[in-house]
Amino acid sequence: MEEKQSQKEQQDWLRSLLPSPIRIIEPEYFFKALMMGYDEWAILTDEPHSQKARVYFCKPKRENYLNKKCDDFDGVVEVYDTLTFTDRAQAREELSYNRFHPRDIEKEYKRYLAGEGLMFAPPIPPATYKLKADEDGFFYSKGTNWKKQPTDPQ
């Protein structure tokens, strides 16, 4: 019972961090390869009505086009965390510092379809973006696994 409560608390925390619905505006995609074929994606986008940038951290896309009983024929991308930055330039620097590398999403998707490169589909649109709190909590927004880039002393 206690485990379910913590999962619900994590889901509520994630909802408080994220806008609803999730809007992806002129996205840039970043990729981080982890062990055992597990891939992490970061989608860099603009915050609506703001100069700020937002990064959505997500898992690879689950494609559902073969599942006739599914409502999300375009696939589902689970968003498990988010960070905001003053602008896209700062976000790109921080992503690079944390070992996320820019990716051409369409090229990666073609490679995936050809059986080259990625084991799982990248989070390419169209897709339904759903909130999904990870069992491990908020991997980046809590600060434990996100390194701040050191600033140059003047």
Tens of pLDDT, residues 92-139: 999 999 999 999 988 888 888 888 877 778 888 878 787 776 665 677
Place 1 in a pLDDT band, splitting at 50, 70 and 90: very low
Among 19-23, 26-30, 117-121, name the one with the lowest average pLDDT. Answer: 19-23
Task: State the average pLDDT for the chain.
Answer: 79
Q: What's the confidence (pLDDT) of residue 37?
A: 63
Q: Is the pLDDT of residue 2 over 50?
A: no
Place 61 in a pLDDT band, splitting at 50, 70 and 90: confident
For tokens 């889901």, the residue is 11
Q: What's the confidence (pLDDT) of residue 137?
A: 60
Q: What is the distance between the alpha carbons of residues 129 and 87, in angstroms, rounded to a whole number?
A: 22
Average pLDDT estimate for 17-38: 78
Q: Is the pLDDT of residue 38 over 90?
A: no
